Amino acid sequence: MSKELDSIMRPEAIAVIGASARPGTIGNEIMSKLVEYGFAGKLYPINPKAEEILGVKVYKNVIDIPEKVDLAVIAVGRDLVFPVIDQCAEKDIKGIVVISAGFKETGHEGAEIEKELLKKIKQYGMRMVGPNCLGVINTADGIKMDASFADALPLAGKTAFTSQSGALGAAILNISKDLNLGVSQFVSIGNAADISAEALIDYWKDDPNTKQMLLYLESIAEPEVFSRLAKEITKEKPIIAIKAGKSAAGASAASSHTGSLAGADLAADALLKQSGVIRVHSVPEMFEVAQAFANCPVPKGKRVAIMTNAGGPGIMATDAICENGLEISQLADSTRDYMRSYLAAAASVKNPVDMIASAPLDHYEKTLKALINDENVDAVMVIYLPLMNLDPMDVSNVVMKIKEENPEKPIIAVMMAKNDFFSEINKKKTNIPFYQYPETAAHSMAKLYAQREWIDKPAGKEPSYNVDKQKVQEIIVNALRENRNQLTTLESIDVLEAYGVRTCKYAFAANVDEAAAEANKIGYPVVMKITSTKISHKTEIGGVIVGINSEEQLRQEYAGLLERLKEKGMQEALDGVIIQEMVKGAREMVCGVATDPQYGHLMMFGLGGIFVETLKDVAFRVNPVTDVDVKEMVRSIKSYKLLEGARGEIPARVEQVEETMLRLSQLVKDFSFIKELDINPLKISDKTGEGIAVDGRIEVDYDKAKQALEGLTVSSGSL
């Protein structure tokens, strides 16, 4: 375990600066919690006007403390924080928790003050939690530190928790105690000026008292660092996160399909998914999932057995299991034969096993043991409805006893009982999670299995292809010379071809005679597309003409195109046309890249064509992506079935489609100033199954591109 945060999380001596004897103040609450929870180290309240607080000697100034201090918890007005930090530095205190508010959460002025605070912290070689935070907790024996002003004293356990919201953190601590979910450590990071979620998960990865981590995030300060750490940690310890807030991708300003679809928090969602983090969307869901991980091993597979004393809930559970991507296990013949030997004649020994309402307590024990011992079963859901005067607590005790004897497989209990039962069971030491409804239990089981899939998922590789990087540089330099950040269609297709993306045969023509000559070379039918430095959306002016079957038709269509441009006063915008082979393919996909200001490049793949923004059947990942990421991405969309082929269609060459995505990934890694990129459509050829780019659009960040390519010499000169 990294020792860097030990001064905060494992202190031997704490100074509470701003400690107070007056009830109702934060300084008093923090002192009270430290005393009441039984902090194992030395405690030094700091207050210039008091002699004693809660029976502990008070010091006027932190410098007056005669012994070494590891942690200072600061609860004074904002204007006093800076001189207090100076005094802590003089005392050589390395751990700081700033409870005080009034920093960046208040606006620009507060943000500037916070920057100065962080500068001072770094200058002194300190580490700081906060400012504007609730405090920190460590329940480990030998420490017993509750340096917070949360209402309830924490219950010791194996779950570490951090929150960017102090109020929500306090509420979650209260709920965790009510649900009997113990905490190992808790950190309210507040404004996270110094210590962020990234630092904490890194600290907790080797903490023997922490088996899982819960995060409430409003932002991810360092996406690359977070992803790198989480990918490593989540193979050993699950991370369950609520990510609130929205990404600032600016979808409304995007010029590409990819950009317009990359809004909301899709970037954060993709990052968490790629990092193995289990994302939940509410506090209740967080606790439901956390209870499963706190009490269950990760299953070896997704085959679930259900046992119940009522048919209806068994059917509901079956539906929920299947809807969550799990499977109803096929029980072994020997298991079914054994259950027939003691269950009532009316009982069903198929899965779900319906023991019927009159099942006595010993039937629960025998049936659960039989299912646990079945090699076709990876996890068991036990459902009980209070019937026939059987006490739900007795059933629960039997289930927990069997779990203790058989810890290798997950057992989840659904007790469709009154709330009184849950109030009582949450006071007990339990070894299985209890839920009130089958749907909730099935959802939590699915998250357990998702962890198994993540653990077994290979790391993946980022292949490197032989490409013509020089050609792409020349194309972009030429656009920058003309003060353009948008490449023409022809330039975009040239870039794609330079990076090995399969494009249809094409040629540029400056006039109708050249267009006819190129079409005759390519062979009919052909497609004619306008290319222009001033027109980005070709279809809006009828700039894409498909199914041209002869030179005569081509000349007519060219004349019609000129007439449409003339009607709109845009005849001067025509740079020429692109003549392309007409790829026959009813299946149209889209691939592309958008740029999120916080997370960087986002790769997109999905159903393309004119319905891309309507149906939104797309998947995103944060670049860089691996071959495993892309494989998962392509298969995650609903329309993947189309790629497999239907009604006589040949299957798409999925590996070649995946390679296209990996080549795009390499392109935007090599040219990081590419802002948006679209291939729409990527047509799946009816003849070969290849994914063929028939159109492209690329936009660069002008200033970044100019800075990156400044002084670069290409065949046409320097920028």
Q: What is the pLDDT of residues 107-160, one digit of tens each?
A: 999 999 999 999 999 999 999 999 999 999 999 999 999 999 998 889 999 999
Say if residue 94 is in the same domain as residue 223: yes
State residue 252's pLDDT score. Answer: 40
Mean pLDDT of the residues in the chain: 92
State residue 258's pLDDT score. Answer: 46
Say if residue 555 is in the same domain as residue 664: no
Question: Are 182 and 156 a contacting pair, CB within 8 Å?
Answer: yes
Residue type, 563: E
Which CA distances in Å does 568 have to 542, 554, 563?
11, 21, 9
Say if residue 512 is in the same domain as residue 600: no
252 in any annotated domain: no
- Residues 68-75, mean pLDDT to the nearest whole number: 98
Residue-wise pLDDT for 579-635, tens only, equals 999 988 889 999 999 998 889 999 999 998 776 777 789 999 999 999 999 999 999
Q: Which domain holds residue 124?
A: 6-245+260-292
pLDDT band at 260 (very low <50, low <70, confident <90, very high): very low
Is residue 463 reached through a cis peptide bond, with omega within 30 degrees of 0 on the bond before it? no
Say if residue 326 is in the same domain as residue 207: no
State residue 259's pLDDT score. Answer: 47
Q: How far is it, in rounded angstroms, from Cα 417 to Cα 715?
A: 78
Q: How many domains does the chain have?
A: 4
1 in any annotated domain: no
State residue 608's pLDDT score. Answer: 87
Say if residue 163 is in the same domain as residue 179: yes
State residue 253's pLDDT score. Answer: 41
Say if residue 417 is in the same domain as residue 436: yes
- Residues 280-284, mean pLDDT to the nearest whole number: 93
Checking if the pLDDT of 527 tops 50, the result is yes
- Residues 508-534, mean pLDDT to the nearest whole number: 93
Nearest to 123 by CA among 81, 86, 84, 91: 86
Residue type, 496: L
Greater confidence (695 vs 202) lies with 202
Checking if the pLDDT of 357 tops 50, the result is yes
Say if residue 352 is in the same domain as residue 465: no
Checking if the pLDDT of 67 tops 50, the result is yes
Q: How far is it, in rounded angstroms, from Cα 658 to Cα 627?
A: 8
251 in any annotated domain: no
255 in any annotated domain: no
Say if residue 208 is in the same domain as residue 219: yes
pLDDT band at 77 (very low <50, low <70, confident <90, very high): very high
Q: How far is it, in rounded angstroms, from Cα 236 to Cα 165?
A: 27
Checking if the pLDDT of 541 tops 90, the result is no
Checking if the pLDDT of 538 tops 70, the result is no
Checking if the pLDDT of 388 tops 90, the result is no
Q: In the listed set 553, 582, 611, which residue is the last one of a domain according to the structure?
A: 582
80 in any annotated domain: yes
168-188 in b/e form (b: 16+ CB < 10 A) is bbbebbeebbebbbbbbbbbb
Checking if the pLDDT of 247 tops 70, the result is no
Question: What's this model's pTM, rounded to 2 decimal places?
Answer: 0.89
Pairing of strands 135-138, 183-188: antiparallel
Say if residue 400 is in the same domain as residue 485: no
253 in any annotated domain: no
Q: How far is it, in rounded angstroms, from Cα 470 to Cα 713?
A: 10
State residue 602's pLDDT score. Answer: 95
254 in any annotated domain: no
- What residues contact 529, with CB distance under 8 A and at least 6 apart? 489, 538, 543, 544, 545, 577, 578, 580, 695
Strands of 513-627, DSSP E: 526-531, 544-548, 576-581, 587-596, 600-607, 618-622
- Residues 271-294, mean pLDDT to the nearest whole number: 95
Say if residue 496 is in the same domain as residue 387: no
Checking if the pLDDT of 662 tops 80, the result is yes
Q: Where are the alpha helices (DSSP H) in 482-607?
A: 489-498, 512-522, 551-567
Q: Give the CATH number of the domain where residue 67 resides.
A: 3.40.50.261
637 in any annotated domain: yes
Say if residue 98 is in the same domain as residue 35: yes
Structure tokens at 109: 């002025």
Q: How far is it, in rounded angstroms, from Cα 582 to Cα 72?
A: 72
Residue type, 308: T
Q: In the listed set 456, 490, 521, which residue is the last one of a domain according to the structure?
A: 456
State residue 714's pLDDT score. Answer: 54
Nearest to 665 by CA among 453, 503, 467, 511: 467
Structure tokens at 649: 């269609």
Q: In the listed set 551, 582, 613, which residue is the last one of a domain according to the structure?
A: 582
Residue-wise pLDDT for 166-193, tens only, equals 888 888 898 898 888 999 999 999 999 9
Q: Is 406 exposed, middle or buried (0-12, 13-18, 19+ CB in 10 A)?
A: middle
Greater confidence (536 vs 581) lies with 581
Nearest to 215 by CA among 264, 171, 265, 280: 280
Residue-wise pLDDT for 13-62, tens only, equals 999 999 999 999 999 999 999 999 999 999 999 999 999 999 999 999 99
Say if residue 410 is in the same domain as residue 517: no
pLDDT band at 255 (very low <50, low <70, confident <90, very high): very low
